Amino acid sequence: MLSKKQARFFFLGGTAVTFLIFIGLTVFSLSKAQDQSHEENLTEAVVKGKHIWEKNNCMGCHTILGEGGYYAPELTKVIERRGEGYVKAVLMSPVPWAPHGRKMVAYKMSNEEAEDVIAFLNWISKIDLNGFDKIVSPLAKESK
């Protein structure tokens, strides 16, 4: 029968081995050669857009890369789906945008802020998502 010492060895050994593998895989998957997000296209506007995205907790309602609030639409492919003009109108609207009655906060963004957010969303839309983009993208809709 298993002794307490063996049980402790199983815990400490198992943890150490899996943790080392985890670190190894992290280093591998975040290496430049494995980049799927086109990091070279991270312009100043994209980074500014990300800050605006975070400052207003957009993720609290929307999802992006499938992560977020499940209350408002997934935005990974929103630019392809709706076009830049529509997105800009929503961001700059002085009254709450409310498709189907569900309200969004009226952020009343300036033209520049809205363009930064659009740059961010454009960068997001080009990330290779291992097939998930086909599920949430307009291309998937066409193949209905």
Q: Which residues bind other proteins (CB under 8 A)?
A: 2-4, 7-8, 10-11, 14-15, 18-19, 21-22, 25-26, 28-30, 34, 36-37, 39, 42, 46-47, 50, 53-61, 63-74, 96, 99-103, 105, 120, 124, 127-132, 135-136, 140-141, 144
Q: How far is the CB of 94 from other proteins (least distance, A)?
A: 14
- In the bound complex, what is the minimum distance in angstroms from residue 62's beta carbon to other proteins? 9
Least Å distance between CB 23 and other proteins?
A: 10
Phi, then psi, of 64 in degrees rounded to 5:
-140, 135
Other Cβ atoms less than 10 A from the Cβ of 117: the count is 26
Distances 40 to 100, 112, 130, 137 between C-alpha atoms, Å: 38, 22, 19, 23
Centre a 10 Å sphere on the Cβ of residue 132 and count the other Cβ atoms it contains: 15
Report residue 87 as tokens: 């997105």
Shortest Cβ distance from residue 28 to other proteins (Å)? 7
Q: Closest separation between CB of residue 113 and other proteins, Å?
A: 14
Q: For the packed helices 111-125 and 84-92, what is the interaxial angle rounded to 10 degrees?
A: 140
- Helix, strand and coil content of the chain, in percent to the nearest 5, comes to 60, 5, 35
Query: For other proteins, which is the closer residue by CB, 53 or 90?
Result: 53
Give whichever of 50 and 91 is closer to other proteins, judged by the CB atom. 50
